[in-house]
Chain A
Protein backbone atom coordinates (compact mmCIF):
# COMPACT_ATOMS: atom_id res chain seq x y z
CA UNK A 1 0.00 0.00 0.00
CA UNK A 2 1.19 3.46 -0.84
CA UNK A 3 2.50 5.77 1.84
CA UNK A 4 -0.07 8.32 2.94
CA UNK A 5 1.65 11.67 3.09
CA UNK A 6 0.27 14.75 4.80
CA UNK A 7 -0.16 16.31 1.38
CA UNK A 8 -2.20 13.36 0.17
CA UNK A 9 -4.31 13.59 3.32
CA UNK A 10 -5.15 17.19 2.45
CA UNK A 11 -6.16 16.12 -1.04
CA UNK A 12 -8.32 13.36 0.40
CA UNK A 13 -9.95 15.75 2.86
CA UNK A 14 -10.83 18.08 0.01
CA UNK A 15 -12.14 15.15 -2.03
CA UNK A 16 -14.29 13.92 0.88
CA UNK A 17 -15.74 17.39 1.22
CA UNK A 18 -16.59 17.44 -2.51
CA UNK A 19 -18.22 14.03 -2.15
CA UNK A 20 -20.29 15.28 0.80
CA UNK A 21 -21.50 18.16 -1.34
CA UNK A 22 -22.46 15.73 -4.09
CA UNK A 23 -24.36 13.65 -1.53
CA UNK A 24 -26.35 16.70 -0.41
CA UNK A 25 -27.12 17.69 -4.00
CA UNK A 26 -28.24 14.16 -4.87
CA UNK A 27 -30.49 13.82 -1.84
CA UNK A 28 -32.11 17.23 -2.33
CA UNK A 29 -32.82 16.35 -5.96
CA UNK A 30 -34.12 12.87 -5.06
CA UNK A 31 -36.30 14.25 -2.23
CA UNK A 32 -35.72 11.04 -0.27
CA UNK A 33 -32.85 8.86 0.89
CA UNK A 34 -30.42 8.39 3.75
CA UNK A 35 -28.37 11.37 4.83
CA UNK A 36 -26.63 10.62 8.12
CA UNK A 37 -24.78 7.40 7.28
CA UNK A 38 -23.83 8.60 3.81
CA UNK A 39 -22.17 11.77 5.16
CA UNK A 40 -20.61 9.85 8.06
CA UNK A 41 -18.90 7.35 5.75
CA UNK A 42 -17.62 9.89 3.20
CA UNK A 43 -14.08 9.94 4.63
CA UNK A 44 -13.78 6.17 4.62
CA UNK A 45 -15.14 5.82 1.07
CA UNK A 46 -12.75 8.54 -0.07
CA UNK A 47 -9.74 6.88 1.53
CA UNK A 48 -10.63 3.55 -0.09
CA UNK A 49 -11.47 4.72 -3.61
CA UNK A 50 -8.62 7.23 -3.80
CA UNK A 51 -5.88 5.49 -1.86
CA UNK A 52 -6.43 1.93 -0.70
CA UNK A 53 -8.39 -0.01 -3.33
CA UNK A 54 -6.65 -1.74 -6.19
CA UNK A 55 -9.18 -0.94 -8.88
CA UNK A 56 -9.62 0.64 -12.29
CA UNK A 57 -12.73 2.74 -12.93
CA UNK A 58 -12.09 2.41 -16.68
CA UNK A 59 -12.06 -1.37 -16.37
CA UNK A 60 -14.52 -2.08 -13.56
CA UNK A 61 -14.48 -5.84 -14.15
CA UNK A 62 -10.67 -6.06 -13.95
CA UNK A 63 -10.05 -9.61 -12.76
CA UNK A 64 -7.44 -8.67 -10.16
CA UNK A 65 -9.32 -5.82 -8.52
CA UNK A 66 -9.94 -5.65 -4.80
CA UNK A 67 -13.62 -6.15 -4.08
CA UNK A 68 -15.63 -3.81 -1.90
CA UNK A 69 -19.02 -5.04 -0.75
CA UNK A 70 -21.40 -2.49 0.70
CA UNK A 71 -23.68 -4.37 3.06
CA UNK A 72 -25.84 -1.51 4.33
CA UNK A 73 -27.03 -0.48 0.90
CA UNK A 74 -29.11 2.43 2.17
CA UNK A 75 -26.02 4.64 2.41
CA UNK A 76 -25.55 4.29 -1.37
CA UNK A 77 -25.50 8.05 -2.03
CA UNK A 78 -21.92 7.99 -0.70
CA UNK A 79 -21.09 4.93 -2.81
CA UNK A 80 -22.50 6.48 -5.99
CA UNK A 81 -20.95 9.90 -5.34
CA UNK A 82 -17.53 8.39 -4.63
CA UNK A 83 -17.71 6.17 -7.71
CA UNK A 84 -18.66 9.14 -9.89
CA UNK A 85 -15.81 11.22 -8.47
CA UNK A 86 -13.48 8.28 -9.11
CA UNK A 87 -14.59 8.14 -12.74
CA UNK A 88 -16.89 5.12 -12.89
CA UNK A 89 -19.68 7.16 -14.45
CA UNK A 90 -20.43 10.80 -15.29
CA UNK A 91 -21.02 13.19 -12.40
CA UNK A 92 -24.24 14.35 -14.10
CA UNK A 93 -25.75 10.95 -13.54
CA UNK A 94 -25.80 11.54 -9.78
CA UNK A 95 -28.91 13.70 -10.30
CA UNK A 96 -30.84 10.60 -11.39
CA UNK A 97 -30.65 8.96 -7.96
CA UNK A 98 -33.92 7.17 -7.11
CA UNK A 99 -35.64 8.31 -10.33
CA UNK A 100 -37.40 6.07 -12.81
CA UNK A 101 -35.00 4.44 -15.24
CA UNK A 102 -31.89 5.33 -13.25
CA UNK A 103 -28.84 3.15 -12.83
CA UNK A 104 -28.63 4.60 -9.31
CA UNK A 105 -31.45 2.69 -7.66
CA UNK A 106 -32.66 3.70 -4.18
CA UNK A 107 -30.71 0.74 -2.87
CA UNK A 108 -27.88 -0.61 -5.06
CA UNK A 109 -28.92 -3.12 -7.71
CA UNK A 110 -26.31 -4.63 -9.97
CA UNK A 111 -28.83 -5.47 -12.68
CA UNK A 112 -28.90 -1.69 -13.30
CA UNK A 113 -25.28 -0.90 -12.37
CA UNK A 114 -23.46 -4.14 -13.23
CA UNK A 115 -20.07 -3.16 -11.85
CA UNK A 116 -21.34 -3.15 -8.30
CA UNK A 117 -20.00 -6.21 -6.49
CA UNK A 118 -23.48 -6.94 -5.18
CA UNK A 119 -26.99 -5.61 -4.74
CA UNK A 120 -27.83 -4.65 -1.19
CA UNK A 121 -30.40 -3.04 1.01
CA UNK A 122 -31.88 -5.73 3.22
CA UNK A 123 -29.49 -5.69 6.15
CA UNK A 124 -27.20 -8.35 7.52
CA UNK A 125 -26.21 -10.26 4.39
CA UNK A 126 -23.25 -8.34 2.98
CA UNK A 127 -20.67 -9.91 5.24
CA UNK A 128 -21.70 -13.44 4.25
CA UNK A 129 -21.35 -12.54 0.59
CA UNK A 130 -17.91 -11.06 1.22
CA UNK A 131 -17.04 -14.30 3.00
CA UNK A 132 -18.14 -16.27 -0.07
CA UNK A 133 -15.85 -14.17 -2.24
CA UNK A 134 -12.95 -14.51 0.20
CA UNK A 135 -13.48 -18.28 0.40
CA UNK A 136 -13.58 -18.60 -3.39
CA UNK A 137 -10.29 -16.66 -3.60
CA UNK A 138 -8.77 -19.03 -1.06
CA UNK A 139 -9.90 -22.08 -3.01
CA UNK A 140 -8.50 -20.55 -6.21
CA UNK A 141 -5.33 -19.41 -4.41
CA UNK A 142 -6.03 -15.79 -5.29
CA UNK A 143 -6.10 -14.72 -1.66
CA UNK A 144 -2.62 -13.26 -1.84
CA UNK A 145 -3.49 -11.11 -4.87
CA UNK A 146 -6.29 -9.04 -3.42
CA UNK A 147 -8.47 -8.23 -0.45
CA UNK A 148 -12.19 -8.48 0.00
CA UNK A 149 -13.55 -5.50 1.93
CA UNK A 150 -16.97 -5.37 3.49
CA UNK A 151 -18.49 -2.12 4.70
CA UNK A 152 -21.32 -2.62 7.13
CA UNK A 153 -23.31 -0.63 9.66
CA UNK A 154 -23.52 -1.07 13.40
CA UNK A 155 -27.32 -1.23 13.28
CA UNK A 156 -27.23 -4.31 11.06
CA UNK A 157 -25.39 -6.15 13.80
CA UNK A 158 -28.89 -6.64 15.22
CA UNK A 159 -29.36 -9.18 12.42
CA UNK A 160 -28.72 -12.84 13.23
CA UNK A 161 -27.27 -13.38 9.76
CA UNK A 162 -24.43 -10.98 10.67
CA UNK A 163 -23.39 -13.14 13.62
CA UNK A 164 -23.65 -16.35 11.62
CA UNK A 165 -21.18 -14.73 9.25
CA UNK A 166 -18.88 -13.45 11.99
CA UNK A 167 -18.72 -16.88 13.63
CA UNK A 168 -18.03 -18.58 10.30
CA UNK A 169 -15.26 -16.22 9.15
CA UNK A 170 -13.52 -16.63 12.49
CA UNK A 171 -13.57 -20.38 12.08
CA UNK A 172 -12.18 -20.23 8.55
CA UNK A 173 -9.44 -17.69 9.49
CA UNK A 174 -10.24 -15.59 6.43
CA UNK A 175 -7.30 -13.19 6.59
CA UNK A 176 -8.12 -11.86 3.11
CA UNK A 177 -11.38 -10.44 4.46
CA UNK A 178 -11.37 -6.98 6.03
CA UNK A 179 -14.58 -5.56 7.45
CA UNK A 180 -15.27 -1.97 8.37
CA UNK A 181 -18.11 -1.38 10.80
CA UNK A 182 -19.54 2.11 10.63
CA UNK A 183 -19.90 2.65 14.37
CA UNK A 184 -22.06 5.75 14.26
CA UNK A 185 -24.30 4.65 17.14
CA UNK A 186 -27.59 5.39 15.40
CA UNK A 187 -30.31 3.43 13.69
CA UNK A 188 -33.80 4.39 12.51
CA UNK A 189 -35.53 4.19 15.88
CA UNK A 190 -32.80 5.80 17.95
CA UNK A 191 -29.38 5.22 19.41
CA UNK A 192 -28.05 1.69 19.00
CA UNK A 193 -27.43 1.28 22.71
CA UNK A 194 -31.09 2.06 23.41
CA UNK A 195 -32.54 -0.14 20.70
CA UNK A 196 -30.39 -3.27 21.12
CA UNK A 197 -27.11 -2.60 22.94
CA UNK A 198 -24.09 -3.69 20.90
CA UNK A 199 -21.40 -3.00 23.50
CA UNK A 200 -18.94 -4.39 24.34
CA UNK A 201 -18.72 -4.60 20.57
CA UNK A 202 -14.96 -5.08 20.14
CA UNK A 203 -15.01 -7.87 22.74
CA UNK A 204 -17.80 -9.60 20.89
CA UNK A 205 -15.85 -9.71 17.63
CA UNK A 206 -12.73 -10.82 19.50
CA UNK A 207 -14.69 -13.62 21.13
CA UNK A 208 -15.61 -14.79 17.62
CA UNK A 209 -11.89 -15.03 16.73
CA UNK A 210 -11.52 -11.80 14.79
CA UNK A 211 -8.62 -9.36 14.82
CA UNK A 212 -10.17 -6.12 16.04
CA UNK A 213 -8.96 -2.56 15.54
CA UNK A 214 -10.83 0.50 16.78
CA UNK A 215 -10.20 3.80 15.11
CA UNK A 216 -11.77 7.15 14.30
CA UNK A 217 -13.59 6.99 10.98
CA UNK A 218 -12.58 10.54 10.16
CA UNK A 219 -8.83 10.35 10.75
CA UNK A 220 -7.27 9.36 7.43
CA UNK A 221 -3.89 8.58 8.95
CA UNK A 222 -5.19 6.23 11.64
CA UNK A 223 -7.64 4.62 9.26
CA UNK A 224 -4.91 3.96 6.74
CA UNK A 225 -2.68 2.46 9.44
CA UNK A 226 -5.54 0.28 10.59
CA UNK A 227 -6.04 -1.08 7.08
CA UNK A 228 -2.29 -1.73 6.81
CA UNK A 229 -2.38 -3.67 10.06
CA UNK A 230 -5.39 -5.61 8.84
CA UNK A 231 -3.58 -6.51 5.63
CA UNK A 232 -0.57 -7.74 7.58
CA UNK A 233 -2.65 -10.06 9.77
CA UNK A 234 -2.42 -13.57 8.36
CA UNK A 235 -4.11 -15.53 11.13
CA UNK A 236 -7.57 -14.01 11.34
CA UNK A 237 -10.08 -11.83 9.56
CA UNK A 238 -9.94 -8.22 10.68
CA UNK A 239 -12.73 -5.90 11.67
CA UNK A 240 -12.03 -2.20 11.86
CA UNK A 241 -14.58 -0.61 14.12
CA UNK A 242 -14.61 2.91 12.73
CA UNK A 243 -16.16 5.47 15.04
CA UNK A 244 -17.94 7.96 12.85
CA UNK A 245 -20.21 10.94 13.35
CA UNK A 246 -23.48 10.44 11.54
CA UNK A 247 -24.22 13.46 9.36
CA UNK A 248 -20.54 14.48 9.56
CA UNK A 249 -19.79 17.89 8.04
CA UNK A 250 -23.18 19.51 8.60
CA UNK A 251 -23.72 20.57 12.20
CA UNK A 252 -27.52 20.38 12.01
CA UNK A 253 -27.41 16.75 10.91
CA UNK A 254 -24.57 15.52 13.10
CA UNK A 255 -25.27 12.82 15.72
CA UNK A 256 -29.04 13.09 15.29
CA UNK A 257 -30.66 9.73 14.54
CA UNK A 258 -33.61 11.52 12.93
CA UNK A 259 -31.38 12.14 9.91
CA UNK A 260 -30.84 8.41 9.38
CA UNK A 261 -33.50 7.97 6.76
CA UNK A 262 -34.52 11.39 5.48
CA UNK A 263 -33.22 13.80 2.87
CA UNK A 264 -32.69 17.54 3.33
CA UNK A 265 -35.21 19.81 1.62
CA UNK A 266 -34.00 22.54 -0.74
CA UNK A 267 -33.44 25.10 2.00
CA UNK A 268 -31.69 22.71 4.35
CA UNK A 269 -29.61 21.53 1.41
CA UNK A 270 -28.48 25.04 0.53
CA UNK A 271 -27.43 25.70 4.13
CA UNK A 272 -25.58 22.39 4.25
CA UNK A 273 -23.75 23.11 1.01
CA UNK A 274 -22.73 26.54 2.26
CA UNK A 275 -21.36 25.02 5.46
CA UNK A 276 -19.39 22.42 3.54
CA UNK A 277 -18.06 25.00 1.07
CA UNK A 278 -16.81 27.17 3.95
CA UNK A 279 -15.26 24.28 5.85
Chain B
Protein backbone atom coordinates (compact mmCIF):
# COMPACT_ATOMS: atom_id res chain seq x y z
CA UNK B 1 0.00 0.00 0.00
CA UNK B 2 1.04 3.61 -0.37
CA UNK B 3 2.66 4.85 2.84
CA UNK B 4 -0.33 6.36 4.65
CA UNK B 5 1.84 8.79 6.59
CA UNK B 6 3.10 10.60 3.50
CA UNK B 7 -0.21 11.88 2.09
CA UNK B 8 0.73 10.69 -1.40
CA UNK B 9 -1.56 11.26 -4.35
CA UNK B 10 -4.48 8.80 -3.81
CA UNK B 11 -5.22 8.65 -7.55
CA UNK B 12 -1.68 7.68 -8.47
CA UNK B 13 -2.75 4.28 -9.85
CA UNK B 14 -5.73 5.62 -11.80
CA UNK B 15 -5.64 5.64 -15.57
CA UNK B 16 -6.09 9.41 -15.82
CA UNK B 17 -3.55 10.39 -13.16
CA UNK B 18 -2.45 13.97 -13.60
CA UNK B 19 0.97 14.45 -15.17
CA UNK B 20 3.45 17.31 -15.23
CA UNK B 21 7.17 17.77 -15.81
CA UNK B 22 9.76 18.07 -13.05
CA UNK B 23 11.24 21.02 -14.93
CA UNK B 24 7.94 22.84 -14.49
CA UNK B 25 8.26 22.23 -10.76
CA UNK B 26 11.75 23.67 -10.89
CA UNK B 27 10.54 26.74 -12.81
CA UNK B 28 7.80 27.39 -10.26
CA UNK B 29 10.20 26.81 -7.37
CA UNK B 30 12.78 29.17 -8.86
CA UNK B 31 10.18 31.89 -9.26
CA UNK B 32 9.10 31.48 -5.64
CA UNK B 33 12.70 31.37 -4.41
CA UNK B 34 13.34 34.57 -6.37
CA UNK B 35 10.40 36.26 -4.68
CA UNK B 36 11.65 35.19 -1.26
CA UNK B 37 15.29 36.22 -1.73
CA UNK B 38 16.57 39.00 -3.96
CA UNK B 39 19.98 37.36 -4.12
CA UNK B 40 18.60 34.48 -6.18
CA UNK B 41 19.71 34.92 -9.80
CA UNK B 42 19.21 32.69 -12.82
CA UNK B 43 21.59 32.03 -15.71
CA UNK B 44 20.66 30.07 -18.79
CA UNK B 45 22.44 28.76 -21.87
CA UNK B 46 19.90 29.50 -24.61
CA UNK B 47 17.26 27.12 -23.24
CA UNK B 48 15.17 29.46 -21.16
CA UNK B 49 11.80 27.95 -21.95
CA UNK B 50 13.00 24.34 -22.05
CA UNK B 51 14.41 24.70 -18.55
CA UNK B 52 11.30 26.66 -17.47
CA UNK B 53 13.51 29.53 -16.36
CA UNK B 54 11.25 31.84 -18.39
CA UNK B 55 8.94 32.16 -15.38
CA UNK B 56 11.78 33.73 -13.39
CA UNK B 57 13.15 35.69 -16.36
CA UNK B 58 9.82 37.41 -16.99
CA UNK B 59 9.38 38.41 -13.36
CA UNK B 60 12.99 39.38 -12.65
CA UNK B 61 14.60 40.44 -15.95
CA UNK B 62 17.52 42.17 -14.20
CA UNK B 63 18.37 39.05 -12.27
CA UNK B 64 18.21 36.78 -15.30
CA UNK B 65 21.38 36.32 -17.34
CA UNK B 66 21.35 34.86 -20.82
CA UNK B 67 24.76 33.26 -21.38
CA UNK B 68 24.14 31.96 -24.88
CA UNK B 69 25.21 28.47 -25.92
CA UNK B 70 28.26 28.60 -23.68
CA UNK B 71 27.92 26.19 -20.79
CA UNK B 72 31.46 26.63 -19.50
CA UNK B 73 30.92 30.35 -19.20
CA UNK B 74 27.46 29.76 -17.74
CA UNK B 75 28.69 28.07 -14.57
CA UNK B 76 31.91 30.05 -14.12
CA UNK B 77 29.96 33.31 -14.24
CA UNK B 78 27.70 31.62 -11.69
CA UNK B 79 30.72 30.95 -9.51
CA UNK B 80 31.76 34.62 -9.66
CA UNK B 81 28.26 35.78 -8.81
CA UNK B 82 28.12 33.39 -5.87
CA UNK B 83 31.44 34.82 -4.67
CA UNK B 84 29.71 38.20 -4.64
CA UNK B 85 26.84 36.92 -2.49
CA UNK B 86 24.36 35.75 -5.09
CA UNK B 87 22.59 32.38 -5.21
CA UNK B 88 22.90 31.47 -8.89
CA UNK B 89 20.81 28.80 -10.60
CA UNK B 90 22.58 27.78 -13.83
CA UNK B 91 20.36 25.89 -16.22
CA UNK B 92 20.77 23.92 -19.43
CA UNK B 93 20.33 20.35 -20.64
CA UNK B 94 22.05 17.83 -18.41
CA UNK B 95 24.11 16.53 -21.33
CA UNK B 96 25.89 19.92 -21.47
CA UNK B 97 25.46 21.00 -17.86
CA UNK B 98 27.22 19.15 -16.20
CA UNK B 99 28.23 17.15 -19.27
CA UNK B 100 30.29 19.78 -21.05
CA UNK B 101 31.37 21.99 -18.15
CA UNK B 102 32.36 19.37 -15.58
CA UNK B 103 35.82 20.75 -14.80
CA UNK B 104 34.51 24.28 -14.38
CA UNK B 105 31.92 22.95 -11.94
CA UNK B 106 34.58 20.99 -10.10
CA UNK B 107 37.13 23.78 -9.79
CA UNK B 108 35.26 27.05 -9.73
CA UNK B 109 32.17 25.86 -7.85
CA UNK B 110 32.87 22.73 -5.78
CA UNK B 111 36.57 23.33 -5.03
CA UNK B 112 35.70 26.95 -4.23
CA UNK B 113 32.64 25.77 -2.27
CA UNK B 114 30.37 28.37 -3.87
CA UNK B 115 26.60 27.89 -3.54
CA UNK B 116 25.87 27.57 -7.26
CA UNK B 117 22.92 25.38 -8.24
CA UNK B 118 23.47 23.36 -11.42
CA UNK B 119 20.19 22.55 -13.15
CA UNK B 120 20.39 19.70 -15.66
CA UNK B 121 17.11 19.26 -17.46
CA UNK B 122 16.23 16.66 -20.10
CA UNK B 123 18.23 14.01 -18.25
CA UNK B 124 17.84 10.32 -18.94
CA UNK B 125 16.74 8.05 -21.75
CA UNK B 126 13.19 9.48 -21.51
CA UNK B 127 14.36 12.51 -23.50
CA UNK B 128 13.19 10.28 -26.31
CA UNK B 129 13.10 11.47 -29.92
CA UNK B 130 16.14 13.78 -29.73
CA UNK B 131 18.27 10.64 -29.58
CA UNK B 132 21.35 9.39 -27.81
CA UNK B 133 23.44 12.55 -28.20
CA UNK B 134 20.97 14.39 -25.96
CA UNK B 135 20.20 11.68 -23.40
CA UNK B 136 22.33 12.34 -20.32
CA UNK B 137 22.91 8.97 -18.69
CA UNK B 138 26.12 9.88 -16.87
CA UNK B 139 25.25 13.05 -14.96
CA UNK B 140 24.57 11.52 -11.55
CA UNK B 141 27.96 9.81 -11.67
CA UNK B 142 29.68 13.00 -12.84
CA UNK B 143 28.23 15.06 -10.03
CA UNK B 144 28.27 12.71 -7.09
CA UNK B 145 31.97 12.01 -7.48
CA UNK B 146 32.85 15.67 -6.76
CA UNK B 147 33.28 16.67 -3.10
CA UNK B 148 31.00 19.41 -1.68
CA UNK B 149 28.22 19.01 -4.27
CA UNK B 150 24.81 17.74 -3.24
CA UNK B 151 22.82 15.75 -5.82
CA UNK B 152 19.03 15.74 -6.15
CA UNK B 153 16.66 13.84 -8.40
CA UNK B 154 12.96 14.59 -7.81
CA UNK B 155 10.21 12.08 -8.59
CA UNK B 156 7.57 14.59 -9.70
CA UNK B 157 6.68 18.23 -10.24
CA UNK B 158 5.81 18.89 -6.61
CA UNK B 159 8.96 17.37 -5.22
CA UNK B 160 11.02 19.27 -7.83
CA UNK B 161 9.53 22.53 -6.59
CA UNK B 162 10.19 21.65 -2.95
CA UNK B 163 13.81 20.72 -3.68
CA UNK B 164 14.35 23.95 -5.64
CA UNK B 165 13.08 25.99 -2.71
CA UNK B 166 15.29 24.07 -0.29
CA UNK B 167 18.51 24.35 -2.29
CA UNK B 168 17.94 28.09 -2.69
CA UNK B 169 18.37 28.29 1.07
CA UNK B 170 21.45 26.11 1.50
CA UNK B 171 24.96 27.43 1.29
CA UNK B 172 26.20 24.44 -0.73
CA UNK B 173 26.75 23.73 -4.40
CA UNK B 174 23.98 21.50 -5.72
CA UNK B 175 23.01 19.52 -8.79
CA UNK B 176 19.32 19.14 -9.63
CA UNK B 177 18.41 16.52 -12.24
CA UNK B 178 15.22 17.08 -14.21
CA UNK B 179 13.40 15.11 -16.88
CA UNK B 180 11.85 16.30 -20.12
CA UNK B 181 8.63 14.35 -20.10
CA UNK B 182 5.46 14.81 -18.14
CA UNK B 183 5.31 12.18 -15.41
CA UNK B 184 2.53 11.17 -13.01
CA UNK B 185 2.19 13.31 -9.90
CA UNK B 186 3.05 11.01 -7.01
CA UNK B 187 3.29 13.37 -4.04
CA UNK B 188 1.06 16.17 -2.83
CA UNK B 189 1.81 19.58 -1.38
CA UNK B 190 1.10 17.99 2.02
CA UNK B 191 3.65 15.18 1.57
CA UNK B 192 6.34 15.90 4.14
CA UNK B 193 9.66 16.62 2.51
CA UNK B 194 12.97 16.82 4.19
CA UNK B 195 16.11 17.40 2.22
CA UNK B 196 18.63 14.53 2.51
CA UNK B 197 15.95 12.14 3.81
CA UNK B 198 14.81 9.06 1.88
CA UNK B 199 11.14 8.10 2.21
CA UNK B 200 9.32 4.78 1.89
CA UNK B 201 6.51 5.39 -0.61
CA UNK B 202 5.20 1.81 -0.76
CA UNK B 203 5.05 -0.84 1.94
CA UNK B 204 3.29 -4.17 2.63
CA UNK B 205 -0.14 -3.91 4.22
CA UNK B 206 1.12 -6.19 6.99
CA UNK B 207 4.40 -7.82 7.86
CA UNK B 208 7.92 -7.31 6.59
CA UNK B 209 8.93 -6.64 3.01
CA UNK B 210 10.87 -9.34 1.16
CA UNK B 211 12.64 -6.98 -1.25
CA UNK B 212 13.50 -3.28 -1.00
CA UNK B 213 13.27 -1.28 -4.21
CA UNK B 214 15.32 1.92 -4.13
CA UNK B 215 14.55 4.33 -6.93
CA UNK B 216 14.81 7.95 -7.98
CA UNK B 217 13.45 10.51 -10.44
CA UNK B 218 10.81 9.63 -12.99
CA UNK B 219 11.46 5.89 -12.38
CA UNK B 220 9.74 6.06 -9.00
CA UNK B 221 6.37 5.71 -10.73
CA UNK B 222 7.39 2.53 -12.57
CA UNK B 223 8.71 1.10 -9.33
CA UNK B 224 5.39 1.80 -7.61
CA UNK B 225 3.49 0.08 -10.46
CA UNK B 226 5.80 -2.92 -10.16
CA UNK B 227 5.36 -3.06 -6.38
CA UNK B 228 1.59 -3.00 -6.71
CA UNK B 229 1.57 -5.87 -9.21
CA UNK B 230 4.05 -7.86 -7.17
CA UNK B 231 1.75 -7.52 -4.18
CA UNK B 232 -1.03 -9.26 -6.11
CA UNK B 233 1.47 -12.03 -6.86
CA UNK B 234 2.21 -12.39 -3.17
CA UNK B 235 5.60 -10.65 -3.12
CA UNK B 236 5.92 -7.98 -0.48
CA UNK B 237 8.14 -5.02 -1.27
CA UNK B 238 9.00 -1.60 0.00
CA UNK B 239 9.73 1.22 -2.45
CA UNK B 240 12.11 3.92 -1.32
CA UNK B 241 12.24 7.30 -3.05
CA UNK B 242 15.85 8.49 -2.98
CA UNK B 243 15.39 12.12 -4.04
CA UNK B 244 18.66 13.14 -2.40
CA UNK B 245 21.40 11.00 -3.92
CA UNK B 246 24.14 12.90 -2.13
CA UNK B 247 24.52 13.17 0.81
CA UNK B 248 22.95 9.73 0.82
CA UNK B 249 20.59 8.67 3.60
CA UNK B 250 22.71 5.77 4.86
CA UNK B 251 20.54 4.93 7.84
CA UNK B 252 17.39 4.60 5.77
CA UNK B 253 19.16 2.36 3.23
CA UNK B 254 20.72 0.14 5.88
CA UNK B 255 17.40 -0.13 7.73
CA UNK B 256 15.69 -1.20 4.52
CA UNK B 257 18.42 -3.75 3.76
CA UNK B 258 18.16 -5.17 7.28
CA UNK B 259 14.43 -5.68 6.86
CA UNK B 260 14.44 -7.06 3.31
CA UNK B 261 17.91 -8.60 2.95
CA UNK B 262 17.62 -8.01 -0.83
CA UNK B 263 17.64 -4.77 -2.80
CA UNK B 264 16.77 -3.67 -6.33
CA UNK B 265 17.84 -0.22 -7.50
CA UNK B 266 16.02 1.51 -10.37
CA UNK B 267 17.20 4.62 -12.23
CA UNK B 268 17.18 6.21 -15.68
CA UNK B 269 21.00 6.46 -15.83
CA UNK B 270 23.99 4.27 -16.56
CA UNK B 271 24.36 1.57 -13.93
CA UNK B 272 28.04 2.50 -13.62
CA UNK B 273 28.45 5.24 -11.08
CA UNK B 274 24.78 6.08 -10.66
CA UNK B 275 22.32 6.01 -7.77
CA UNK B 276 22.48 2.22 -7.56
CA UNK B 277 26.25 2.37 -7.27
CA UNK B 278 25.87 4.85 -4.42
CA UNK B 279 23.48 2.46 -2.67
CA UNK B 280 25.88 -0.44 -3.25
CA UNK B 281 28.74 1.56 -1.72
CA UNK B 282 26.69 2.03 1.44
CA UNK B 283 25.54 -1.58 1.69
CA UNK B 284 28.83 -3.24 0.76
CA UNK B 285 30.45 -1.44 3.68
CA UNK B 286 27.66 -1.68 6.22
CA UNK B 287 25.23 -4.50 5.51
CA UNK B 288 25.97 -6.52 2.38
CA UNK B 289 22.90 -8.05 0.75
CA UNK B 290 22.22 -9.19 -2.83
CA UNK B 291 21.49 -6.23 -5.13
CA UNK B 292 20.06 -6.12 -8.65
CA UNK B 293 20.58 -2.94 -10.65
CA UNK B 294 18.04 -1.56 -13.10
CA UNK B 295 19.59 1.09 -15.33
CA UNK B 296 21.20 1.49 -18.72
CA UNK B 297 23.83 -1.16 -19.22
CA UNK B 298 26.89 0.58 -20.69
CA UNK B 299 25.08 1.65 -23.85
CA UNK B 300 24.11 4.92 -25.53
CA UNK B 301 20.46 5.69 -26.16
CA UNK B 302 18.65 6.34 -29.46
CA UNK B 303 15.51 7.98 -30.82
CA UNK B 304 12.11 6.65 -29.83
CA UNK B 305 9.23 7.37 -27.50
CA UNK B 306 10.12 7.34 -23.80
CA UNK B 307 8.07 4.18 -23.32
CA UNK B 308 9.77 2.38 -26.22
CA UNK B 309 13.17 3.32 -24.88
CA UNK B 310 12.35 2.36 -21.30
CA UNK B 311 11.34 -1.09 -22.51
CA UNK B 312 14.21 -1.47 -24.96
CA UNK B 313 16.85 -0.60 -22.37
CA UNK B 314 15.27 -2.74 -19.67
CA UNK B 315 14.00 -0.06 -17.29
CA UNK B 316 10.29 -0.87 -17.41
CA UNK B 317 7.88 -2.28 -14.91
CA UNK B 318 8.36 -5.82 -16.21
CA UNK B 319 12.12 -5.48 -15.83
CA UNK B 320 11.72 -4.27 -12.27
CA UNK B 321 9.47 -7.21 -11.45
CA UNK B 322 11.95 -9.60 -13.01
CA UNK B 323 14.80 -8.09 -10.99
CA UNK B 324 12.77 -8.38 -7.77
CA UNK B 325 12.14 -12.05 -8.43
CA UNK B 326 15.77 -12.63 -9.32
CA UNK B 327 17.10 -10.99 -6.18
CA UNK B 328 14.56 -12.90 -4.13
CA UNK B 329 16.02 -16.15 -5.48
CA UNK B 330 19.57 -14.99 -4.79
CA UNK B 331 18.56 -14.14 -1.25
CA UNK B 332 17.15 -17.57 -0.46
CA UNK B 333 19.63 -19.68 -2.40
Contacts and interface: CB of A to CB of B under 8 A. Distances in A.
B39 to A, nearest CB: 9
Interface stretch (B80-88, B121-129, B197-205, B234-242): B80-88
Interface string A173-193: 000000000000000000000
Given A111-B113, A129-B108, A136-B86, A165 B73 contact: yes
A173 to B, nearest CB: 14
Nearest to B79: A129
B83 A161 contact: no
Contacts of B82: 132
B111 interface: yes
A161 B111 contact: no
B103 A122 contact: yes
Interface in A103-147: 109-111, 117-122, 124-125, 128-137, 139-140
Interface string B84-96: 1110100000000
Contacts of A111: 111, 113
A105 B166 CA distance: 34
Nearest to B69: A164
B76 A165 contact: yes
A136 B80 contact: yes
Interface string B108-137: 100111000000000000000000000000
B136 to A, nearest CB: 21
Interface residues on B, range: 20 to 34
Interface residues of A, number: 30
B111 A135 contact: no
A88 interface: no
A122 B112 CA distance: 13
B70 A125 contact: no
A55 B45 CA distance: 35
B250 interface: no
A128 B80 contact: yes
A119 B107 contact: yes
A121 B104 CA distance: 11
A168 B65 CA distance: 10
A110 B65 CA distance: 26
Contact of A129 (B41, B63, B80): B80
B154 interface: no
A117 B83 contact: yes
Contact of A164 (B63, B70, B80, B112): B70
Contacts of A124: 72
A160 interface: yes
Nearest to A168: B73
Main secondary structure of the interface of A (DSSP, over half): helix
Nearest to A63: B85
Given A118-B112, A125-B72, A131 B80 contact: yes
A90 to B, nearest CB: 25
Contacts of A130: 80
A168 B112 contact: no
A165 B88 CA distance: 17
Nearest to A130: B80
A118 B84 CA distance: 11
Given A133-B84, A161-B72, A168 B67 contact: yes
Contact of A119 (B65, B88, B112): B112
Contacts of B67: 164, 168
Contacts of A110: 112
Interface string B52-80: 00000000001101011010110011111
Nearest to B111: A119
A167 B62 CA distance: 19
Contacts of A140: 84-85
Nearest to B67: A168
A132 B79 contact: yes
A118 B73 CA distance: 16
Contacts of A136: 41, 80-81, 83-86
B31 to A, nearest CB: 18
- Among B81, B82, B88, B104, max chain A CB count under 10 A is at B81
Nearest to A125: B76
A69 B65 CA distance: 21
Given A139-B62, A161-B76, A125 B108 contact: yes
- Among A132, A164, A168, max chain B CB count under 10 A is at A132
Contacts of B88: 132
B65 A125 contact: no
Nearest to A110: B112
A165 B77 CA distance: 8
Contact of B107 (A122, A131, A139): A122
A128 B113 CA distance: 17
Given A119-B107, A137-B84, A165-B73, 5 more contacts: A118-B108, A131-B73, A131-B77, A132-B83, A139-B41
26 contacts: A110-B112, A118-B79, A118-B83, A118-B108, A119-B107, A125-B76, A128-B76, A128-B77, A129-B80, A129-B83, A131-B80, A132-B77, A132-B86, A133-B80, A133-B81, A134-B80, A135-B65, A135-B77, A136-B80, A136-B81, A136-B83, A137-B84, A161-B104, A165-B73, A168-B68, A168-B77
Nearest 7 Cβ contacts at the A-B interface: A132-B80, A128-B76, A136-B84, A164-B73, A129-B80, A164-B70, A132-B81
